[in-house]
Amino acid sequence: MPKDNDPLEFPDMGWLPTEAPAAGPNLDSVAPRALWESRAAHNPAHESTLTGNIRYHRDVPSRFLGQVRDVIVYLPPGYDESESLRYPVLYMQDGQNLFDGATAFVPGHDWKLDETAETLILDGSIEPLIIVGIYNTGESRIDEYTPNKELRNPRGGKGRLYGRFITEELKPFVDAVYRTRPGRLDTGIGGSSLGGLVSIYTGLNYPDVFSRLAILSPSAWWGRGSIITRVRGLARKPSTKIWLDIGTSEGSGSIAAVRALCDALQARGWTDDDLHYVEVADGQHSEDDWAARCGDVLKWLYPGDSTPVNGRR
């Protein structure tokens, strides 16, 4: 994976942050937390909607970002019944919005990704997988989810450090704690909005780590379309599958930027075999809209063999 002095597949363009990584505790000290602890952190005004086998890790540190964050992990049906089976992993941004209406940014409006994954795994529509939800830290979200500063906004530019947190700190921890298949072919990353922006940025910066990208309604307009420029400047096309979408009610500027991103990917060699582009009729920029199509995303990136699972695998 890229080190500080290694060239990236994306040209840096002078946008890398200048801050040195902050010192922090080692991830090995973070112990798994039980489901009840996750529920204890919820907004008491909203009932938990968690489904399936959920684990929670509080206050995960990072020496690159200098602050802690919570991580929630969905495990597939049958995970605890077998000690030999291993699973692919999907790392998702904005973790508090994925599984539980009690922690979602808009209370009661989460992606229902746990319910969707559980149903699709059990009926064989997708392969069993582990989903890691990385909570954003609120105030730092814009900084961490963007690769460069926005000219009209002094915020942003820590996207590369955030990518190093995922690839060099969080992923090794997850691979040590859970029965994962750690290779690139079994590892994905995704998110929506700015989470989609940092996911495609990180996924293409680390093609030796990630091969499946779930990019929903990405903020491709950020930094005057810097992600589009970066894709156009790729030194080579990695063998990476990308789901890319945008809703037709998300604003003309957002739609134009995502179309330009799609065009740039196609110009660099992506085809229908490894790029699935969708413009969702009447789709809006909301958790409910992303919830409505996350099942299709999973089915395209992690297709199953149509064999029903009865809780064991």
Q: How far apart are CA 87 and CA 103, in angstroms?
A: 26
Site of tokens 């392969």: 127
Instruction: Provide the domain limits for residue 164.
Output: 27-301
Q: Is residue 80 part of a domain?
A: yes
| Residue 310: per-residue pLDDT | 65
| Residue 149: per-residue pLDDT | 86
Mean pLDDT of each 10-residue bin along the chain, 313 residues long: 42 34 37 37 68 95 96 97 95 97 91 97 98 95 92 85 98 98 98 98 98 98 95 96 98 97 98 98 97 98 86 43
Q: Is residue 18 part of a domain?
A: no
Q: Is residue 55 part of a domain?
A: yes
| Residue 45: per-residue pLDDT | 61
| Residue 262: per-residue pLDDT | 98
Q: Is residue 308 part of a domain?
A: no
The pTM score is: 0.87
Residues 165, 140 contacting (CB under 8 angstroms): no
Q: Is residue 292 part of a domain?
A: yes
| Residue 171: per-residue pLDDT | 98
Query: How many structural domains does the chain have?
Result: 1
All residues at 6 or more sequence positions from 167 whose CB lies less than 8 Å from its CB, including other chains: 1, 202, 206, 209
For position 39, which CATH number holds? Answer: 3.40.50.1820
| Residue 308: per-residue pLDDT | 80
Q: Is residue 106 part of a domain?
A: yes
Q: How far apart are CA 199 and CA 49, in angstroms?
A: 26
Q: Is residue 19 part of a domain?
A: no
Q: How far apart are CA 42 and CA 27, in angstroms?
A: 24
Residue 72 β-bridge partners: 56, 133
**Nearest of 180, 159, 259 to residue 218 by alpha carbon:** 259
Q: Is residue 290 part of a domain?
A: yes
